[in-house]
A and B are shown apart, each in its own frame.
Chain A
Amino acid sequence: MAKLFERRLTPADSPLAIISRTTAAFLAAMLVAAFLFVSYGAHPLQAYFALFHEPFATLRGFGYTLARASPLALIGLGTIVTWRAGFSYLGFEGCFVLGSTSTAWLALSTASGGRIGHVPFFLFLSIAILFGFVSGGAWAGLVAVMRARFGGNEVLISLMSNYVAIFILQYTVSGPLRAPGSLPETRLLPRTTWLPFILPGTRAHAGILIALAAAGLVWTLLQKMPLGYELIVTGLNPLAARYAGIDVSRRFVLAAFLGGGLGALAGMVEVLGAQHRLMDGISGGMGFVGIIVALLARLNPLAVIPTALLYGGMSVGADAMQRRANIPSSITFILESLLVLLVLASDVLRYYEINASSLWCRSPQTVDGQASE
């Protein structure tokens, strides 16, 4: 029988091929999701309406979408900087947590009677950005030092450093910064430290502006600056980079510092813009969803913003579906990961083409028993 998948002589990389593959992956993900909705007794079209109507077609919902998209975009940008430099950092959950912890500590210190006392908002924000960026950057930079100096495995180190960061958060909210009460969380941060809301009547906050600015900066760094070029060359071929006189170890550490810092800014934005207090479980897997956003955007800093809006919107829509149709919101994890897995799977079509005729007619070779290897 003729094979269903015929091997291509050269990988198919034309724009048309890429677009059609990605579209096919999206459609397949939608199809699987439709089956999921049916299994919960919902009409698939109505469920899709619920999933996308509130986050994108109502002002209130769109405010939430912007709020959810900001940290995702920042983590996605951090992923892009580190991964394009060839450093497979997976510790954004930890950077997020550290960024939110250090920001909350700083914000509570500016409360009346705090260590620092009241400061003007813009001064506070600049210090918070600097402080958060350095805390996350140092956290991720340490992993890069381990890799560059001792040859450690950055994938595993960064995965496990996430748990250490989460224990630091748990210690902070159950010890030094704990508010009176039964829950492990801090007091509400002083209102003067909150990020301003940008759309009247919604929860959209200035975090999305920070994310947009960061996207512009990362794009400029990677596309327009010699340093960004060096980072990309390091990622594409470390050996060639070294021959060209680039200090590969230093570039790893620098990329990790920038990426970790961006991840920590995501935590800052979440604390100052959305939660307004620090609590246990504040990240809720956002560090990993942010990586997925970057992957779906194919590590392109400008494509990260719409992808983050899509994913932020889907999580808002899923919450609405849980309230209305009693479909658990955890199916967003399924949808979000399935989308990327199917895009990855569609890459098979780079190397193989589908031989549709094999589906309905048997090739003549099988008649005399020769396999068409």
Chain B
Amino acid sequence: MNQTQLMGAAFFVTWLSASLRLAGPVLLAALGETFAEQSGVLNVGIEGTILLGALASFLASYYTGMIWIGVFAAVLVGIAASILLAWFYVTARASQVVAGLVFNVLALGIASAVYRKALGNSSAPESIAVFGTLRIPFISDLPLIGPVLFGQTILFYLTLILVVVAQLVLFRTNFGLALRASGENPAAADSAGISVSRMRYAGTLISGAGAGMAGAYLVLAQVGLFRESIVSGQGFIALGIVIFGRWNPWKAALAALVFGACDALQLSLQIFTLRVPPQLLLALPYVVAIIAVSGLFGGKTAQPAALLVPYVKD
């Protein structure tokens, strides 16, 4: 192989494996958000929930030294935060966009204050141990697909399993049917004996768990430290993925991969000397997300009909 071919091969391996790695957190958040939206709640607050999950996972594994405790702490914090959000969305019938948005500001304040309280104003950020790549004997050594598909962390494989679980729960169980009915036609669901508010609480809590875990993924499998800017819109991108994935976990996984690939481009192109400003590549995933939700690709037919509409029981 000559120089150019080698560079090309190296580029594809790093690009594809970075795509999968970066797709993980947004996919986790999108999976949870799919449940919330199918139940009729647009949870804009996942951006802040991811941030709180990231902080919880960082602090928990910083103090205990155990990575898995970090994951559990993040999920718990995510669920706790979404109990508050669900109360606003469902019980108080507040505007979902407003409550979610204001919650994001609250989460930013809490995360920053708690982090400073815990670790002081040290200028050098503390880093923690992260999940190593899970090496599967023989398969991981295959050329090209080995390092791409089988050189990921255990959280990645867990996320793939959760895609299947989410698909089955949403479309193959009574719970999934009741959840979707609450988002499609709450009045009909109500007269069929389904508690719409319980279903919407459940959907929001599941989205909180997914967002919390996404935060743990960011800290424990990607960065290894906590920054206030660690989420930087990935929760909003997850909202876009849910729409682009037509409220379906399996399609959301494909959509997440597209965004992961855009996100990874700027990392992998660093091996070439390009005359493109780095900001152009950094903005790419957001631009693609805007195009994905711009309405240019299909109408709103797949959207849960009662999304954003509070349900008032007569």
Chain A residue, CB-CB nearest to B110: A334
- Residue of A39, A164, A334, A347 near B290 (CB, 8 A) is A164
Which of A199-207, A270-278, A287-295 contacts its partner?
A: A287-295
Given A151-B300, A155-B44: A337 and B112 interface contact (C-beta under 8 Å)? no
Tell whether, in the assembled complex, residue B94 and residue A347 are in contact, meaning their CB atoms are under 8 Å apart: yes
Chain B residue, CB-CB nearest to A161: B290
Residue A40 at the B interface, CB < 8 A?
yes
Tell whether, in the assembled complex, residue A345 and residue B113 are in contact, meaning their CB atoms are under 8 Å apart: no
- Residue of B105, B294, B299 near A157 (CB, 8 A) is B294
Chain A residue, CB-CB nearest to B100: A155
Residue total for A at the interface (Cβ-Cβ under 8 A): 50
- Residue of B103, B104, B295 near A150 (CB, 8 A) is B295
Tell whether, in the assembled complex, residue B109 and residue A337 are in contact, meaning their CB atoms are under 8 Å apart: yes
Given A344-B88, A345-B92: A291 and B101 interface contact (C-beta under 8 Å)? yes
Tell whether, in the assembled complex, residue B293 and residue A156 are in contact, meaning their CB atoms are under 8 Å apart: yes
Tell whether, in the assembled complex, residue B294 and residue A289 are in contact, meaning their CB atoms are under 8 Å apart: no
Residue B279 at the A interface, CB < 8 A?
yes
Tell whether, in the assembled complex, residue B106 and residue A171 are in contact, meaning their CB atoms are under 8 Å apart: no
Residue B287 at the A interface, CB < 8 A?
yes
Cα A344 to Cα B89 in complex, Å, equals 11
Chain A residue, CB-CB nearest to B92: A348
Cβ of B22 to closest chain A Cβ, rounded Å: 15
Task: Name the interface residues of A269-310: CB closer than 8 Å to any CB of B.
Answer: 285, 288-289, 291-292, 295
- Residue of B44, B109, B233 near A332 (CB, 8 A) is B109
Chain B residue, CB-CB nearest to A175: B277
Residues of chain B contacted by A338 (CB below 8 angstroms): 106
Residues of chain B contacted by A188 (CB below 8 angstroms): none
Residues of chain B contacted by A229 (CB below 8 angstroms): none
Given A160-B289, A330-B108, A334-B109: A168 and B279 interface contact (C-beta under 8 Å)? yes
- Residue of B94, B283, B295, B299 near A164 (CB, 8 A) is B283
Residue B236 at the A interface, CB < 8 A?
yes
Given A151-B295, A164-B290, A167-B282: A90 and B101 interface contact (C-beta under 8 Å)? yes
Residues of chain B contacted by A153 (CB below 8 angstroms): 243, 293, 295
Residues of chain A contacted by B237 (CB below 8 angstroms): 160
Cα A150 to Cα B243 in complex, Å, equals 14
Task: Name the interface residues of A32-46: CB closer than 8 Å to any CB of B.
Answer: 36, 39-40
- Residue of A90, A146, A164 near B286 (CB, 8 A) is A164
Tell whether, in the assembled complex, residue B294 and residue A150 are in contact, meaning their CB atoms are under 8 Å apart: yes
* Chain B interface main SS type: helix
Residue A3 at the B interface, CB < 8 A?
no
Task: Name the interface residues of B74-118: CB closer than 8 Å to any CB of A.
Answer: 88, 91-94, 97-99, 101-106, 108-110, 112-113, 116-117
Residues of chain A contacted by B99 (CB below 8 angstroms): 341, 344
Residues of chain A contacted by B192 (CB below 8 angstroms): none
Tell whether, in the assembled complex, residue A157 and residue B293 are in contact, meaning their CB atoms are under 8 Å apart: yes
User: For this complex, into which size category does the number of interface residues on chain B fall?
Assistant: 35 or more
Cα A366 to Cα B102 in complex, Å, equals 40
In the complex, per-residue mask of A160-178: 1 if CB is within 8 Å of any chain B CB, else 0: 1111100110110011000
Tell whether, in the assembled complex, residue A341 and residue B103 are in contact, meaning their CB atoms are under 8 Å apart: yes
Tell whether, in the assembled complex, residue A330 and residue B112 are in contact, meaning their CB atoms are under 8 Å apart: yes
Residues of chain A contacted by B41 (CB below 8 angstroms): none
In the complex, per-residue mask of B199-215: 1 if CB is within 8 Å of any chain A CB, else 0: 00000000000000000
Tell whether, in the assembled complex, residue B110 and residue A160 are in contact, meaning their CB atoms are under 8 Å apart: no
- Residue of A150, A170, A331, A336 near B105 (CB, 8 A) is A336
Residue A48 at the B interface, CB < 8 A?
no
Residue A187 at the B interface, CB < 8 A?
no
Residues of chain A contacted by B287 (CB below 8 angstroms): 164
Tell whether, in the assembled complex, residue B239 and residue A333 are in contact, meaning their CB atoms are under 8 Å apart: no
Cβ of A130 to closest chain B Cβ, rounded Å: 27
Tell whether, in the assembled complex, residue A295 and residue B294 are in contact, meaning their CB atoms are under 8 Å apart: no
Residue B70 at the A interface, CB < 8 A?
no
Residue B124 at the A interface, CB < 8 A?
no
Task: Name the interface residues of B281-314: CB closer than 8 Å to any CB of A.
Answer: 282-283, 286-287, 289-290, 293-296, 299-300
Chain A residue, CB-CB nearest to B235: A159
Tell whether, in the assembled complex, residue A292 and residue B232 are in contact, meaning their CB atoms are under 8 Å apart: no
- Residue of A39, A155, A168, A337 near B102 (CB, 8 A) is A337
Residue B240 at the A interface, CB < 8 A?
yes
Tell whether, in the assembled complex, residue A331 and residue B293 are in contact, meaning their CB atoms are under 8 Å apart: no
Cα A192 to Cα B213 in complex, Å, equals 52
Given A171-B279, A295-B98: A157 and B290 interface contact (C-beta under 8 Å)? yes
Tell whether, in the assembled complex, residue B236 and residue A333 are in contact, meaning their CB atoms are under 8 Å apart: no
Cβ of B256 to closest chain A Cβ, rounded Å: 15
Cβ of A235 to closest chain B Cβ, rounded Å: 13
Task: Name the interface residues of A20-76: CB closer than 8 Å to any CB of B.
Answer: 36, 39-40
Residue A85 at the B interface, CB < 8 A?
no
Cβ of B304 to closest chain A Cβ, rounded Å: 13
Residue B161 at the A interface, CB < 8 A?
no
Residue A216 at the B interface, CB < 8 A?
no
- Residue of A161, A171, A174, A331 near B109 (CB, 8 A) is A331
Residues of chain A contacted by B113 (CB below 8 angstroms): 36, 328, 330-331, 334
Supplied contacts A171-B279, A341-B106, 12 more A-B pairs, CB within 8 Å = A40-B117, A146-B295, A152-B295, A153-B293, A153-B295, A156-B290, A159-B44, A291-B101, A328-B113, A335-B109, A336-B105, A336-B109
Question: Which 10 A-B pairs give the minimum distances between C-beta atoms?
Answer: A333-B109, A150-B295, A152-B295, A334-B109, A330-B112, A337-B106, A151-B295, A171-B279, A152-B294, A167-B283
Q: Can you name 16 A-B residue pairings with CB atoms under 8 Å?
A: A150-B294, A150-B295, A151-B295, A155-B44, A156-B236, A156-B243, A160-B240, A160-B290, A160-B293, A161-B286, A167-B279, A171-B280, A288-B101, A330-B113, A334-B110, A344-B98
